[in-house]
Amino acid sequence: MAKNEDKPATIVPVERIVQAIILVRGEKVILDADLAVLYGVETRVLVQAVKRNMERFPADFMFQFSPEEFAHLRSQFVTSSAWGGRRYPPYAFTEQGVAMLSSVLHSDRAVRVNIEIMRAFVQLRRILATHAELAHKLEELERKYDEQFKVVFEAIRELMTPPEPKKKRPIGFRPWEEG
């Protein structure tokens, strides 16, 4: 087989990229710090490159977190003390914004990582489309068949619903309760 026909080895596992994709403002985005790790650069270098080329990043390609979103993000993740850590809200890049990054980050790694990120977004879309298609087919079957299969359909729907997170017991000493 010719070298061009072989699929090149991935730089970053697709699972790592998928873990970095989060939902903010109804958009699937990757934060600047996560992108910097994937690209192998410092976050400040990535942000500087973006700021030098702001005309390439309209609001539907990239946005900066509001102070409230940033506070919520910080409460979700353990952050360092007042002496370290991030002092400004992060930038969030949509799929189009990530694609545009390859034009402002001039390295072979940036281009190769961008290709992997685009593949991860495509894979996520396929998974979501398959899930939506399955739900639609289930609804059609429910309409087609009557009450005899209602229990089966309810069981299938239950299996499709993600489990709710379990409540964690509080840490620490609690005296015995009577009764």
Residue 90 lies in a domain: yes
- Return the CATH number at 62: 3.10.260
Give the end-to-end CA distance of the chain in Å, rounded to a whole number. Answer: 75
When pLDDT is cut at 50, 70 and 90, the band that residue 85 belongs to is low
Residue 134 lies in a domain: no
Number of structural domains (the chain) is: 1
Alpha helices per DSSP H over the chain:
14-20, 32-39, 43-52, 67-76, 95-104, 108-144, 150-160
User: Is residue 39's pLDDT more than 50?
Assistant: yes
Find the domain containing 120 and state its range.
Answer: 7-129
- Mean pLDDT over residues 127-155, rounded? 71
- Mean pLDDT over residues 8-25, rounded? 78
CA distance 133 to 83: 50
Kindly report the pTM of this predicted structure. 0.60
Give the tens place of pLDDT for each residue, 63-78: 999 888 888 777 766 5
Tell me, rounded to whole angstroms, the distance of Cα 78 from its chain centroid.
Answer: 18
Half-sphere exposure at residue 69, Cβ-oriented, CA atoms within 13 angstroms: 13
